[in-house]
Copies of this chain bind each other. A is one copy, B any other.
Amino acid sequence: MSAGWFRRRFLPGGLLPAPGTPRPRASPVPYRRPRFLRGSGSGPGTADASRRPDSRPVRSPARGRSLPWNAGYAEIINAEKSEFNEDQAACGKLCIRRCEFGAEEDQEWVTLCPEEFLMGHYWALFDGHGGPAAAILAANTLHSCLRRQLEAVVEGMVATQPPMHLSGRCICPSDPQFVEEKGIRAEDLVIGALESAFQECDEVIGRELEASGQVGGCTALVAVSLQGKLYVANAGDSRAILVRRDEVRPLSSEFTPETERQRIQQLAFVYPELLAGEFTRLEFPRRLKGDDLGQKVLFRDHHMTGWSYKCVEKSDLKYPLIHGQGRQVSEWPHQESLLNCLLQRLGYWEHWPSRGAWETISSESWTQTFSSSPSCSLSHRLDLQVTVLDVDQLELQEEDVVVMATDGLWDVLSNEQVARLVRSFLPGNREDPHRFSELAQMLIHSTQGKDDSLTGERQVSYDDVSVFVIPLHSQGQGSSGH
């Protein structure tokens, strides 16, 4: 079997054509719900357009269909914010094959018996914006990119220490020492594979959207279990937390206007044409108005984490690039829309959310200007963040779970509120094999103001919400791919 055969066998059909191959105009990405929802009353291709805000169904996998590690899942469509549910989800086994080395020129890929595979599992949430296409493409594609990236380095991953040369040859006697001094461990290869897979997937999405004439972006939150560790990779504003009896640990951190402010202001400082004469790059506690002219008001610029005062000039009255009234996660998506619009163009995950910025702000000329500055988007990508949880080192208890959810959940529930809901639900439901999906459903009900006994106040999410609950204690048991 040749490397060419391998490529044809394992690469997703049509997504990575050989350079120069002419391609016909692709048809639009068809809408669908996650495959593992088949049989739950929400088949692929079913649009969820007809629903009333107060009677939207919460959907979970059909009873009898188990996800990896017996994880639970539930989702709800938004309250008529958009025609489709723009969240997407995927999960399954990751089967990593080994490649055998001959001479450099004729490396061959061989299929070994399953026992020699490195096995992992994969859960992913994508929150689409500006249409469902990017999230669907990501759900279809990212796991393939990741498997391919992992297979390319798997020899290094299973070694005690990744060798300088993947072949294991030692060209320089102190190579192991160089690797040791750089502190390179097997988990760095998995992190590198995740980073490369995101980049590859981002390129695929860009090509596919362009080919089919569609637009949009999505966030991505991915959990991968491999060799006793759980890797959580995040780009965007979804979130994963570890909930244990005595601990709530964030496993991801969101990209927010607060975390990206200086980068954005700096960009506007270097490329003032991006402001198109309509915006100011300075941040003020509120939008300024005529009465503020000539006054000294609080502000900060790109080089500052602190604050200072400046005398207000006319140009300071322009629409601020950085705008918002609070730090609360639940508030910023709606207030910081222009910044999000910028972030979409800047993101490492290039197809990052626009959050409806296009509709709410008349910034056409500005985004036009921005789009035509390719060096900006290249030089200011958002970093993908990868957190590693050493599951093997935890003294796991029956009720230890990872909760992954899109921002629709976190807009109305704090980490602590989610943890309280988890801890109150699980002990009373030990016998139900479907309990983690029941828990995921209960969390979503809590965002609909239907269970306010624990959250204390009635908060409602009108956004799409998707939730995975991954039990850690039963890892590897009762799991099956999809």
Interface residues of A (CB under 8 A from B): 104, 149, 152-153, 156, 162-167, 169, 171-172, 174-175, 178-179, 181-184, 187-196, 199, 262, 266-267, 269-270, 285-286, 289, 291-292, 294-298, 300, 303-309, 311, 325-327, 348, 375, 378-379, 381, 383-384, 386
Known: A164-B286, A172-B286, A285-B179. A195 touches B305 (CB 8 A): yes
B residues near A165, Cβ cutoff 8 Å: 292, 295-297
- Bound CA span A169–B309, Å: 14
- Bound CA span A178–B193, Å: 43
B residues near A384, Cβ cutoff 8 Å: 303
B residues near A327, Cβ cutoff 8 Å: 181-183
Q: Give the distance to chain B from A289, nearest Cβ to Cβ, in Å.
A: 8
B residues near A191, Cβ cutoff 8 Å: 304-307
| Contact across chains for A192 and B325 when beta carbons are under 8 A apart | no
- Bound CA span A267–B380, Å: 9
Interchain CB contact (< 8 A) of A303 among B267, B292, B381:
B381
Known: A181-B325, A309-B166, A378-B269. A285 touches B192 (CB 8 A): no
Give 5 nearest A-B pairs by CB, closest first: A191-B306, A192-B306, A166-B296, A192-B308, A178-B285
What are 17 A-B contacts with C-beta separation under 8 Å? A104-B295, A104-B311, A152-B309, A162-B307, A166-B297, A169-B295, A172-B286, A184-B307, A188-B307, A189-B308, A191-B304, A192-B308, A193-B308, A262-B383, A266-B379, A269-B379, A303-B383
- Bound CA span A379–B190, Å: 31
B residues near A190, Cβ cutoff 8 Å: 306
Of all chain B residues, the one with the shortest Cβ separation from A267 is: B379
